[in-house]
């Protein structure tokens, strides 16, 4: 089974151009992690269920409220699941409505 495991792409940032200029988005960080995911057959559950989703889970801490309000954040929090388990994932989402930190919760439901 071949499943797209990519994360950290242009959809995971508030602007696709920023991707190579921010921590968590440097190519030297992504290449080893992508290799790790592929070798272990792990899948980003959010991206699998939301191929075009643009949710954000983290905003720069110094002005997090302003960045959040202007949707200038990143999706850097992930639930990774095995290829064997992906068909049992019924829900994987970013809960942007919960505030109080520079990150928001993410949620995963796995059916038996």
**Would you give the DSSP letter of residue 109?**
E
Count of beta carbons in the 10 Å neighbourhood of residue 15? 8
Q: What is the pLDDT of residue 14?
A: 81
Count of beta carbons in the 10 Å neighbourhood of residue 69? 10
User: Does residue 5 lie in a domain region?
Assistant: no
Structural domain boundaries enclosing 62: 10-110
Total number of domains in the chain: 1
What is the C-alpha separation between 65 and 74, in angstroms, rounded? 14
pLDDT digits (tens, 9 = 90+) for 55-89: 999 998 888 889 899 998 888 899 999 999 999 99
What is the C-alpha separation between 35 and 10, in angstroms, rounded? 19
User: Does residue 1 lie in a domain region?
Assistant: no
User: Does residue 16 lie in a domain region?
Assistant: yes
pLDDT digits (tens, 9 = 90+) for 32-49: 888 888 899 999 999 999
CATH of the domain at 63: 3.60.10.10
């Amino acid at each position: 089974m071949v499943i797209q495991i990519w994360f950290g792409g242009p959809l995971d940032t508030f602007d696709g151009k920023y991707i190579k200029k921010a921590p968590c988005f440097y190519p030297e960080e992504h290449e080893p992690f992508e290799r790790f995911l592929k070798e272990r057959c792990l899948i980003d559950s959010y991206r699998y269920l939301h191929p075009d989703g643009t949710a954000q889970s983290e905003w720069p801490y110094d002005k997090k409220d302003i960045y959040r309000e202007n949707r200038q954040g990143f999706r850097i929090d992930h639930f990774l699941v095995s290829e064997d388990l992906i068909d049992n994932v019924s829900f994987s989402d970013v809960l942007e409505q919960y505030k109080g930190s520079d990150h928001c919760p993410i949620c995963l439901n796995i059916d038996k």
